[in-house]
Amino acid sequence: MKKFIKNKFLAEAAEWALTAAGMFVLFLVCQNFIFRSAVVSGPSMEPTLHHGERLIILKLPFLFGSPKRNDVVAFPYKENPSQHFIKRIIGLPGDIIDIQNRMITVNGIELNDEFTNGQLLSIGDAMFPLTVPAGSYFVMGDNRDQSNDSRYAGVGCIAKKDMMGKAVLRFWPLEKFGGI
């Protein structure tokens, strides 16, 4: 670059501009294809995640594989796509989800996970038993009674193609830095 531009200042400025442009392009590629950040909003994922915590959402796991039960995923809210939800996958495609007597069952087996915060009081407005459609996933917040999730028509089952990715790292606050 310097041999084409005789003015040393202009040559240096052009080099910096090209470097900055390259970094910007690299950032856009990473943001669109590899990862993005997200902020937890509200109490729906307590005790695992808390309001205001910041996460890294990896897109790659779902480009080369399928989401798995208990993955924490991010997706746009159907009624307001600019708002993103973060929930845990409870049901996989073809699973039968049922809620009876405050108990959640998946394929007839009681869901007994260590992630939840308290007892299930609301079953939502979905009709149970519910078979998770092909290519979709049943998601719930860990704080079941403070979560707008697949139990409600406004969220429903989430198609894999609509998932932004898997939450893998909490980077803020720093004292809670680590994997999810």
Q: Which residues are catalytic?
A: 44, 87
Nearest 10 degrees: CA dihedral of 158, 162, 165, 166? 0
By the 10 Å C-beta count (0-12 exposed, 13-18 middle, 19+ buried), 163 is classed as buried
- Check: CB of residue 62 under 8 Å from CB of residue 36: no
Q: Are strands 136-140 and 35-39 parallel, antiparallel or unpaired?
A: unpaired
Q: Which two tokens stand for residue 135?
A: 């290519």
Amino acid identity of residue 12, one-letter, is E
List all residues 6 or more positions away from 90 whose beta carbon is below 8 Å from its beta carbon: 69, 97, 104, 106, 111, 138, 139, 140, 150
